[in-house]
Chains A and B, each alone.
Chain A
Amino acid sequence: MPYTIYTTGIGYRRDQIPDEQIHGMDNPWSILWDPTYKGKVGVYPSYRDVMAIVLMKNGITDLNTGNDADLEKVRTDLLAMIDAVDPRIAYDASYNKLQNDKFSVTTAWSGDVVAGWEYAAPYTETAYKGFGYWFPADRKGPIDNDLIAIPKNAEHPRLAHEFINFWLTFRHAMDNFSWNGYQPPQTKADVNALTKTQGLYNKQSSSWAAPAEYVAPWMPDAVVRESDFAIGYREGPLSADVDDHWHEIWSEFTAGVGS
């Protein structure tokens, strides 16, 4: 069962990169190569997601490509990134390091940025409003979901189904979303509802003066729409040879080749 849905876009600090700037760029994906932010560019230690962004930057929408020419472009761009911005590889890039001004711009899963306010010390309005999320306005970008599965040999399959039913309930799904930032696949949870409705956890944390809405109103791009799954691009399994090729390129990047 799909448990959470998310897009992969770009997280940025709004005090250093105004919304108009990134939204006005011809190719916002390329901001990750902008030397202005050298030493403050983050990427996830996730070869599929980072290489998917490099593909998007090059206008290649097949996120499972095995085409040598496509992958050569990815290799060239990844190695160029090292020279251009000396990126940092970190899992907490978009929910911690961005909020604490360690990074100016980073690859970002929408759920990480939505939950990022919990890490935005000193928990003031300025700190909350300090970071944003960009995803293509036409919604043509990487989209994916996490899921809950029941093993075939599960000892308590009925209990497992009850548990899944619990998560499918709108209220529980939304309560969970209000603290972990990853959106449940609920049709009622649209952009309007999420950016204007107060979440349970957010309300409980009101003493922090946290944004009360499920998703901060200034980052509607972070809300996943049902239609995104028809428009966006999904990562699928790669054949062994293609996967090895992807890994080889990623290894060159993590080894610091190009520096």
Chain B
Amino acid sequence: MSAPSQAEPARRSARRSHRASDEGIHYSRWFWPSFTIPASIWLAILFILPLYTVISIAFGTVDPIFRGPLPIYEPWWWSGEQFGRVLDDSFGFYRIVYIHTFEYVIVASALCLVLAYTVAYYVARYGGKRKTLLLALLIAPFFISYLMRMLAWINLLDSEGYINKILTFLHLVPHPIDWLSGRPSTVIMGLVYGYIPYMILPLYAFLDRIDINLLEAGRDLGAGPARTFFRVTLPLSRPGILAALVIVSLPMMGDYYTNNLLSGSPKTTMLGNLIDDAVGSTGQGNKAAAFVLILMALVLIPMLYYMRSTARSLLTR
């Protein structure tokens, strides 16, 4: 085993120097890795340190007088009491919240995928000269804040709002629908509306990169349009689908204001609402941090699946 392991770095070094000498440029071995330094510092300051603080709060204590969270930074003094209690309750009365969250996120992500894929497919394949315009229109929702778009929906979905006016005018419903009465369907609709732009763009980027010759090859080999789509386009766009699903489903898991604004009913409470409630309640900071860690663990599962799938697809190229 020792011989190959010693030979490998030498081979790599030779390949590098060969390539560099081919290009007539010689780089230090630290040149390319140094490009990651700014991002590494950024991540260390704005992600790792805050994350460690959250962990220190989750396993920390509470100020006995003001009831604010007191982070404990030394792991040997950590207490798992609060975290354990939140974990226990997660299998107890909070279970319904987890179920709601997963239901809403899965359904909303699936709807986003269906709607976004068709739009992205059209723009990538048939956008033609209007592709830039269509892309600009797809980006347009980003110009308005998420909060404002949700507030607009409150007026649109109101019992006297435009949606109900149109539905009743067309006699599609006998009387106005009370959309804002704590309906899960309204929360899901809000999530789809809010996050769909984030799904269209990565899907478009992947679909646009698919080599048209591969599609023509499929047709030449006798496959019809549907078969070509399912046997060529869809498999090739799989990494894009996974990336888009990850991009929208992860923030959806922690979303709380969509539910707050469009429902407000305890019957549609999501995991993000629990965190929001705990953050705003005296003495509950540790609980909020514990929820954050549990949420992170939950979203890590689809993230790991995405990373594994991406790594596999890179290996097969």
Contact = CB atoms under 8 A, between A and B. Distances in A.
Given A88-B265, A257-B93, A240 B283 contact: yes
Nearest to B284: A247
A90 interface: yes
Interface string A13-49: 0000000000000000000000000010000010100
Contacts of B132: none
A82 B182 contact: no
Interface stretch (A164-172, A192-200, A218-226, A248-256): A248-256
B181 interface: yes
B283 A256 contact: no
B267 A259 contact: yes
B103 interface: no
B283 A243 contact: yes
B264 interface: yes
Interface string B84-123: 0000010001101100100000000000000000000000
Interface in B10-68: 62, 64, 67
A11 B280 CA distance: 24
A89 interface: yes
A40 to B, nearest CB: 9
B96 A256 contact: yes
B268 interface: yes
B277 A251 contact: yes
Interface residues of B, number: 29
A86 B182 contact: yes
Contacts of A88: 182, 263-265
User: Chain B binding site: helix, strand, loop or mixed by DSSP?
Assistant: loop
Contacts of B178: 39
A244 interface: yes
A89 B283 contact: no
B189 interface: no
Contact of A243 (B182, B268, B282): B282
Nearest to B277: A254
A79 to B, nearest CB: 9
A256 B67 contact: no
B237 interface: no
B281 interface: yes
Nearest to A89: B264
List the 8 closest pairs (A to B, CB-CB), nearest first: A256-B266, A88-B264, A259-B267, A256-B267, A257-B93, A39-B181, A255-B97, A256-B269
21 contacts: A39-B182, A82-B267, A86-B267, A87-B266, A88-B265, A89-B264, A90-B264, A243-B283, A244-B283, A247-B281, A247-B283, A247-B287, A250-B281, A251-B94, A251-B277, A252-B93, A254-B277, A256-B97, A256-B265, A256-B266, A257-B96
Given A89-B265, A257-B96, A259-B96, 12 more contacts: A86-B267, A88-B263, A88-B265, A102-B180, A243-B283, A244-B283, A247-B287, A254-B266, A254-B269, A255-B94, A256-B97, A256-B267
Interface of A: 39, 45, 47, 82, 86-90, 102, 240, 243-244, 247, 250-257, 259
